[in-house]
């Protein structure tokens, strides 16, 4: 492990002013994990000093009061920004979100005891050469890391009642680091899950995104499905909902989570998969032969996804992209140039690529028969899509070799009819009936048709 120069400098400045100073939290956890398993991204520092003393000790540096009420300031140095916090003890949490008050202390162990999990409740001193000197680990975080175990500091029920966001943080850390959630911690997460309703939608969305992006996030969401359905109650009817048809071998809920696990770690794609079949229970119909079909479920799921993501205050663009993928997830995409140029025209290159990722992940979570038929088609389609994009083929109006000015210059009146002529030229290109070449397209666009005035 190599502590960056900036962090060493801040630690030294604090010590020179007579305060014990430590690296703390995530950076200690991640640097204790062997090798490159988890790279450190923030070197947080904690000092046994009152906030005013912190400020005085760091007066030679540019600082920002990022959380002054809680004794936190940020130091700006050439190699990055460092958050420095005064050691503190939190008062009671009567709102289930924030402490009512904080008190400053010079006891690092007291500060560590307010932190959420044993693996996050360690501090470390650094010697003059920048090497780790001592690890302060009052709650057995090191042992838990070695045993790959996630455990609350103190009584789990009390800790989740103080701040229910910790329930989702538990899933995120466990999923990211591949930890087993200790039984008492896991049981308390389930018992306290209703308190998540007190947490702001933005913070819930942030944590849900972090869990979805973690390597095994899907597996933890499947195991802790009652936590997930606290955030997305619309998924509750999917649990155990049988899909009696040749294409499926899992119930709707399991299929959904397995599909998330099959996808690359991209938030748009994983969110789309989490919501792609949420409308299935509502649209299910079983025929006399006992086969269940879900006609219209993509449209219903898309409408539900939009409501869910709005409620979670998901950013507008992400919402739009996820909803679009949900709506299109079941369209048949032929591995043919014409069909793929049409798809590119409708979705754009980025979303068309994601749609293939969604479809592949969806298929991989289906029956063997479904996989055998679909996967080769998807592979061909994807390869062809990449070729069309790489060749720079035209698939939207802005790619065309002509534009509105060319038509105006040839006496076409401005207005909707002009747009229709351009569209006719684009259609010819999409269908492979014309090259994307000026003269050819002008001939198509200027041909007499209903649009002529």
What residues make contact with ligand ATP under the rule CB under 6 A?
A: 25-26, 42, 44, 115-116, 120-121, 163, 165-166
| Nearest-approach distance from CB 98 to ligand ATP, in angstroms | 9
Q: Name which of residues 33 to 72 contact Mg ion (CB under 5 A).
A: 42
Using CA atoms, how far apart are residues 158 and 365, in angstroms rounded to an integer?
Answer: 38
Which of Mg ion, ligand ATP, none sits in contact with 120, Cβ below 5 to 8 A by type? Answer: ligand ATP
Minimum distance from CB of 114 to ligand ATP (Å)? 6
Q: How many CB atoms lie within 10 A of CB 388?
A: 19
Put residue 411 in one of left, alpha, beta given phi > 0 → left and psi -120 to 50 → alpha. left
Q: What is residue 33's DSSP assignment?
A: S
| Dist. CA 13–CA 126, nearest whole Å | 13
User: What is the smallest separation between the CB atom of 302 and ligand ATP, expressed in angstroms?
Assistant: 31
Minimal distance in Å, beta carbon 26 to Mg ion? 4
Q: Which of ligand ATP, Mg ion, none has residue 156 at its interface (CB below 5 to 8 Å by kind)?
A: none
> If contact means CB under 5 to 8 A according to the sort of partner, which of Mg ion, ligand ATP, none does residue 116 touch?
ligand ATP
Q: Which is nearer to Mg ion, 28 or 326 (CB)?
A: 28
Query: Under DSSP, is residue 347 helix (H, G, I), strand (E, B) or coil?
Result: helix
Query: Is residue 206 part of the contact set for Mg ion (CB under 5 A)?
Result: no
> Which is nearest to 171 in space by CA: 185, 161, 155?
185
Q: How far is the CB of 116 from ligand ATP (least distance, A)?
A: 4
Residue 185 binding target from ligand ATP, Mg ion, none, CB below 5 to 8 Å by type = none
Q: Which helix (H) or strand (E) holds 186?
A: helix 183-191
* Comparison of 42 and 226: residue with beta carbon closer to Mg ion: 42
3-class SS at 342? helix
**Cα separation of 400 and 407, whole Å?**
13
CB nearer to Mg ion: give 210 or 381.
210
Q: Which does 234 bind (CB under 5 to 8 A by kind): Mg ion, ligand ATP, none?
A: none
Helix (H, G, I), strand (E, B) or coil at 180: strand
* Integer CA distances (angstroms), 290 to 245, 255, 284, 285, in order: 8, 20, 12, 9
Locate 190 and state its tokens: 């389930």
Cross-strand partners of 84: 45, 73
Residues 6 or more apart in contact with residue 215 via CB below 8 angstroms: 175, 176, 178, 265
Choose between 26 and 156: whose C-beta lies nearer to Mg ion.
26
Query: Shortest gap between Cβ of 44 and Mg ion (angstroms)?
Result: 6
**CB of 56 or CB of 146, closer to ligand ATP:** 146
Neighbouring-strand partners of residue 286: 292
Cα(57)–Cα(268) distance, integer angstroms: 44
Q: Closest separation between CB of residue 35 and Mg ion, Å?
A: 20
Question: Which of 429, 422, 423 lies closest to 407, judged by CA?
Answer: 422
Closest contact distance (angstroms) between CB of 49 and ligand ATP is 18
Among ligand ATP, Mg ion, none, partner that 231 touches (CB below 5 to 8 angstroms by kind): none
- State in angstroms the smallest separation of the CB of 42 from ligand ATP: 6
- C-beta neighbour count of 119 within 10 angstroms: 31
Closer by beta carbon to Mg ion, 42 or else 330: 42
Q: Which does 165 bind (CB under 5 to 8 A by kind): Mg ion, ligand ATP, none?
A: ligand ATP
How many residues bind Mg ion, per CB under 5 A?
Answer: 2
Q: Which residues of 45-82 are buried (b: 16+ CB within 10 A; e: fewer)?
A: bbbbbbbebbbebbeebebeeeeeeebbbebeeeeeeb
Nearest distance, CB of residue 227 and Mg ion, angstroms: 22
- Report the site for Mg ion in 16-35 (rule: CB under 5 A): 26
- Which one, 26 or 381, has the nearer CB to Mg ion? 26
- Of 121 and 407, which CB lies nearer to ligand ATP in the complex structure? 121
In this structure, the number of other CB atoms found within 10 A of the CB of residue 168 comes to 25
Q: Which residue is nearest to ligand ATP (CB)?
A: 26
CB contact set of 391 (below 8 Å; sequence gap of 6+): none
Q: Which does 227 bind (CB under 5 to 8 A by kind): ligand ATP, Mg ion, none?
A: none
SS3 string, 62-105, reads EEEEEEHHHCEEEEEECCEEEEEEECEEECCCCCCCCCCCEEEC
Taking CB within 5 to 8 Å according to partner kind, which of Mg ion, ligand ATP, none is near residue 28? none
Closer to Mg ion by Cβ: residue 24 or 326? 24
Q: Identify which of residues 42 and 299 has a Cβ nearer to Mg ion in the complex.
A: 42
In the complex, the smallest distance separating the C-beta of residue 40 from ligand ATP, rounded to whole angstroms, is 8
Of residues 92 and 285, the one with the C-beta less far from ligand ATP: 92
Q: Which residues bind Mg ion (CB under 5 A)?
A: 26, 42
């Amino acid at each position: 492990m190599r502590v960056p120069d900036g962090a060493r400098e801040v630690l030294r400045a604090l010590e020179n002013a007579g305060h014990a100073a430590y690296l703390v939290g995530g950076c200690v956890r991640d640097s204790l994990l062997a090798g490159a398993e988890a790279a450190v991204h923030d070197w947080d520092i904690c000092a046994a000093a009152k906030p005013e003393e912190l400020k005085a000790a760091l007066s030679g540096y540019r600082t920002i009061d990022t959380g002054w009420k809680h004794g936190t300031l940020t130091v700006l140095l050439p190699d990055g920004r460092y958050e420095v916090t005064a050691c503190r003890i939190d008062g009671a949490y009567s709102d289930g979100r924030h402490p009512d008050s904080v008190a400053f202390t010079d006891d690092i162990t007291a500060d560590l005891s307010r932190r959420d999990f044993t693996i996050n409740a360690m501090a470390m001193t650094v010697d003059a050469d920048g090497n780790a000197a001592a690890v302060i680990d009052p709650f057995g975080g090191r042992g838990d890391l070695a045993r790959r175990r996630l455990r609350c500091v103190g009584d789990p029920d009390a800790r989740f009642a103080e701040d229910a966001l910790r329930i989702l943080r538990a899933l995120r850390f466990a999923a990211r680091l591949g930890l087993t959630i200790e039984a008492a911690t896991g049981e308390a997460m389930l018992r306290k899950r209703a308190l998540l309703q007190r947490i702001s939608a933005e913070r819930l969305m942030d944590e849900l995104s972090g869990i979805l992006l973690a390597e095994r996030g899907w597996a933890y969401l499947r195991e802790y499905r009652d936590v997930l359905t606290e955030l997305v109650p619309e998924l509750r009817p999917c649990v155990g909902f049988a899909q009696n048809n040749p294409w499926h071998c899992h119930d709707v809920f399991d299929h959904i989570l397995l599909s998330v696990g099959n996808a690359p770690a991209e938030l748009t794609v994983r969110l789309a998969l989490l919501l792609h079949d949420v409308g299935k229970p509502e649209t299910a119909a079983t025929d006399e032969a006992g086969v269940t079909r879900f006609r219209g479920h993509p449209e219903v799921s898309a409408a539900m996804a939009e409501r869910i993501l709005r409620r979670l205050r998901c950013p507008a663009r992400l919402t739009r992209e996820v909803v679009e993928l949900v709506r299109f997830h079941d369209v048949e995409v032929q591995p043919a140039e014409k069909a793929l140029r049409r798809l590119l025209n409708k979705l754009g290159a980025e979303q068309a690529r994601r749609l293939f990722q969604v479809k592949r992940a969806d298929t991989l979570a289906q029956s063997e028969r479904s996989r055998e038929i679909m996967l080769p088609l998807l592979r061909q389609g994807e390869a062809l899509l990449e070729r069309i994009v790489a060749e720079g083929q035209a698939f939207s109006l802005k790619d065309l070799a002509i534009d509105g000015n060319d038509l105006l210059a040839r006496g076409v009146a401005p207005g909707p009819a002009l747009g229709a002529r351009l569209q006719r030229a684009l259609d010819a290109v999409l269908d492979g009936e014309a090259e994307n070449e000026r003269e050819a397209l002008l001939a198509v666009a200027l041909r007499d048709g209903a649009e002529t005035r």
